[in-house]
Structure 1
Amino acid sequence: MLSRKANKDSHGQDSSYFEGWQEYEKNPYHPIQNPTGIIQMGLAENQLSFDLLEYWLRRNSNTMALLKKDGVSAFRELALFQDYHGLPALKDALVKFMTRMRGNKTKYTSDKLVLTAGATAANEILMFCLADPGHAFILPTPYYPGFDRDLKWRTGVEIVPMHCSSSNGFRITREALEEAYQLGQELNLNIKGVLVTNPSNPLGTTMTKTELIHLLDFAIDKNIHIVSDEIYSATVFDSSSPTTTPFISIMEVVKERNNNNLNNIRERVHMVYSLSKDLGVPGFRVGMIYSNNEMVVAAATKMSSFALVSSQTQFLLSNLLSDAKFTEKYMEENQRRLKRRKEMLVRGLRNAGIGCLRSNAGLFCWVDMRHLMRSDSFEAEKELWKRILCEVGLNISAGSSCHCSQPGWFRICFANISEDTLQLAMQRMKAFTNSIFSSANHIIYNM
């Protein structure tokens, strides 16, 4: 009686990533009401700077509450129908905000921007624009588990994993790109492009210029598209030390390389952005597509009618983002807080005998627990993940849910919980690893 889509279990929610969320919802931690509950460390949400946003809202409460524009009520204008192109004021504020946050290295213009209800909708719309059912995109692993749902479920587009290794910090290489392309051909898939996240989710690292050049050269050689998901671009909290890489947008490299106009690559590079991570307002559902391809912008704008942002939300954010003095101070303070919180997590894990991949961005760390597993296998990884979820009471994301090719890596989020909760989580983890190390020593001692 139902459609094939409704009957088919292809949503992507059969991974441990979603299973952990379900277990958390049954038994969520609360410091008073449920102190032994599961602590949510699988949610990449930025709750560290709400006080700054609330301060701005209080200071501008009359304008926001009364929906005033230039001292005159804008209620009727906002309450009535708005076309799917979005409010010009928000689009103008967004491109100016992105230009400032990217150090004015690339100037963005509103005519190349399409508003969507979050980055989820933006990525899906791009798949609809760039590929047909059965076509494929290459994604470097590990990648965000939700892409299996966002990119594939309704579009029919396939994902070809490009396996990156811990031996070089999971960096993208030309060899890995070629191997993934060859795999796609062996599977009789038409490769339409490569999708990357920069900064990476789940690695928390920024792509080097060398990686971006490899990506562009590959796209030029294969005559395919590039989609760069840059929703964590303003969470980069360390870009000055010799061991870290500053954030470089794909659009910046395209601008440099486009002098030769090689194979029209400029029109085959598309960017996704949102305010969910950088500004910490995922509930507002504000995302966008940015493209130099006029046909993509036109088609995506039409498709955005199915994923609109409310006019009231657009009005509020256009005012907030237009306050350049506030947004610059907000970003500086938010990055400082993210760095401090990330360092707390790294110290806590180190105290528990656990190391992390060196990172400089995002709301999470990529954590190495290979030494805690009984064997080098994905079965052992899932066993360890279940113990941490059920015995330790921490919901973290197993590397296999991110399609990591090496078992034993996990993503742990740090910006969605309080400092006290993070400290408790690290106490639990230390007690757990102490028990593992003690058991191992006991076995060795008695052999």
Structure 2
Amino acid sequence: MDIRLAERVKALTPSTTLAITAKAKEMKAQGIDVIGLGAGEPDFNTPEHIIQAAYESMQKGQTKYTPSGGLVELKDAVINKFKEDQGIEYKRSEIIVTVGAKHALYTLFQVILDEGDEVIIPTPFWVSYPEQVKLADGKPVYVEGKEDNQFKITPEQLEEVITDRTKAVIINSPSNPTGMLYTKEELQALGEVAIKKNIWIISDEIYEKLVYGDHKHVSIAELSPELKEQTIIINGVSKSHSMTGWRIGYAAGNEQVIKAMTDLASHSTSNPTATSQYGSIAAYEGTQEPVEEMKKAFEERLNVIHGKLNAIPGFSCLKPQGAFYLFPNVKEAAKMTGFEDVDGFVKALLEEAKVAVIPGSGFGSPDNIRLSYATSLELLEKAVERMSEYVKANMKTAE
């Protein structure tokens, strides 16, 4: 049989994160002591009261289809969350519950993009943004978030790349992979450009609960009624409540957009998993103590590991303000150990130092690597030690 795949699929770039993670798992299965720092998920179990609520829902027979846009009770819990956390008012018709935040983004691009429409994506970016835009026949337009500006773009940069085909700009704060946050003033300035140019703001806020020190998460939608009207917020329970496998996300925004997303979801997933939705209601309506405990553990790890990472020759790392990733520039370390690029350096770290990190090339930032501190402090310290020893030993070889 002559198998011909769709052109849209052929254009996809495989996930760098998943490729490295798979390789690390393969090595572990062979009995090799690999420390994996690629994980984009908390290393804590889902809080017990959430598990219990999901179990009880199954015992009650709540295992059938739900509305395509999500349970009314979960929508109400999400609405209440927005009211308490950001002071924003939403109606049920302005909320859709999806099969993870990734599905919310995918569905959003499908309903707002026509062929050739442009979406502005600041770099470094989460790996799925450009691929999802391409799957909707859109065109990713990249704008460099410079390292000396904490990997964030400026309003001048944004305005410069807007054309008559621009449909949206993505703002991810706190960011994956950098962990950086946009301030209220920075968001206001970017928002003014978006309003003037009449483009959608897609605000990915999946890491909003994981913010450290004196930093504060601000949603661009809370800054003015005009910005709220032009913003689609993407969020979910995966990172905040350690529920990555439960696959519950949501989008909040313009009623017409949400209706179109709901109509599309009715023909793709039918509905988010019922049991997961009941667990998610408990996540938002129950105690938030486990969220705070998890956040405290992440912050402790960050404070210990950040300085040790910067002490590795050729490593330079800004201190993240949120999420659970470090994104050091390792261009010099790669050069000092005889590699032409960071991708080769990352491969050597995995094969020789037995540490799995993600090359920044997959995030549009080829001089960096991403490592997750969503693992134990003991393993993190061991991983940093291995990387340091590898660099020091191979510097001598290179010399």
TM-score by length of 1: 0.81
Partner of 1:85: 69
- Identity %, equivalent residues: 24
Whether the 8 Å CA contact 2:151–2:180 is kept in 1: the answer is no
Please point out which of 349, 368, 387 is paired with 1:409.
Answer: 368
Whole-angstrom distance in 1 between the partners of 2:144 and 2:96: 31
Partners of 2:241 and 2:283 within 8 A in 1: no
Maintained 8 Å contact 1:372/1:436: no
Matched, 1:67 2:57: yes
- Counterpart among 305, 312, 315 of residue 275 in structure 2: 312
Match of 1:251 in 2: 221
223-232 vs 338-347, which moves further: 338-347
What amino acid does structure 1 have at the position aligned with 2:219? Answer: S
Q: Which residue does the alignment assign to 1:191?
A: 166
Task: Note the C-alpha offset of 1:266.
Answer: 4.0
Alignment check: 8 A CA contact 1:346 1:355 kept: no
**Cα separation, 1, equivalents of 2:172 and 2:133:** 13
Q: State how far apart, in whole Å, the 2-side matches of 1:213 and 1:7 are.
A: 36
Deviation digits for residues 191-236 of structure 1 (CA, Å, limit 9, x no counterpart) = 1110111111111011112321222121122221110110000011
Q: Distance in 2 between matches of 1:98 and 1:294?
A: 16
| SS of the residue 1:367 aligns to | coil
- Counterparts in 2 of 1:134 and 1:204: CA distance versus 1, 3 Å: same
Match for residue 435 of structure 1 among 378, 390, 393: 393
Partner of 1:261: none
Partner SS for 1:139: strand
Q: Which amino acid aligns with 2:249?
A: G
Shift in alpha-carbon separation, 1:210–1:7, aligned structure 2, 3 A: closer
What secondary structure is seen at the aligned counterpart in 1 of 2:192? helix
Equivalent position SS for 2:96: strand
- Equivalent residue runs for 1:136-175 within 5 Å: 136-153=118-135, 155-175=136-156
2:330 pairs with 1:355: no
8 Å CA contact retained: 2:69, 2:95: no
Q: Does 1:333 align with 2:333?
A: no
* 8 Å CA contact 1:164, 1:176 repeated in 2: no
- Paired residue type of 1:408: D
CA shift at 1:156, angstroms?
Answer: 1.5
How many pairs are equivalent? 395
Paired position in structure 2 for 1:389: 350
Higher Cα radius of gyration: 1
Q: Can you give the 5+ residue segments of structure 1 that lack an aligned partner in the other structure?
A: 259-264
Higher mean C-alpha displacement, 164-173 vs 348-357 = 348-357
Which has the higher mean CA deviation after the structures are superposed, 88-97 or 122-131?
88-97
The equivalent residue for 2:302 is 342
What corresponds to 1:180 in structure 2? 161
- Mapping for residues 85-124 of structure 1, pairs under 5 Å: 85-100=69-84, 102=85, 104-124=86-106
User: Contact 2:127 / 2:363 at 8 angstroms: preserved in 1?
Assistant: yes
Deviation (angstroms), 1:66: 4.1
Q: How does 1:362-377 map onto structure 2 within 5 Å?
A: 362-374=323-335
Aligned to 1:288: 250
| Shift in alpha-carbon separation, 1:287–1:360, aligned structure 2, 3 A | same
- 1:64 deviation in Å? 4.6
Asked if 1 retains the 8 angstrom alpha-carbon contact of 2:69 and 2:98, the reply is no
Alpha-carbon separation, structure 2, partners of 1:340 and 1:110: 38
Give the AA of the match of 1:312.
Answer: T
Distance in 2, Cα, partners of 1:373 & 1:79: 52
What is the one-letter code of the residue matched to 2:284?
L
Contact 1:171/1:211, CA 8 A, preserved across alignment: no
Deviation at 1:108, TM superposition (A): 4.1
Once the two structures are TM-superposed, the CA of residue 18 in structure 1 deviates from its matched residue by 4.2
Kindly indicate whether the alpha-carbon contact (under 8 Å) linking 1:271 and 1:289 is maintained by their aligned counterparts in 2.
Answer: yes
Q: Counterparts of 1:171 and 1:65 in 2: how far apart (Å)? A: 42
In structure 1, how many angstroms separate the alpha carbons of the residues matched to 2:112 and 2:217?
26
**3-state SS of paired residue (1:143):** coil
Residue equivalent to 1:225 = 200
SS of the equivalent of 2:384 reads helix
Cα distance change, pair 304–352 in 1 and its aligned pair in 2 (3 A): same
What is the CA distance between 1:281 and its match in structure 2?
0.7
Cα drift, residue 378 of structure 1? 9.8
- Structure 2: how far apart are the matches of 1:267 and 1:277? 26
Following superposition, the deviation at residue 282 of structure 1 comes to 0.9
Structure 2 residue identity aligned to 1:246: K
- Deviation of residue 8 (structure 1)? 4.7
For the Cα contact (< 8 Å) 2:54–2:276, is it kept in 1?
A: no
User: 1:28-39 alignment to 2 at 5 Å?
Assistant: 28=28, 34=31, 36-39=32-35
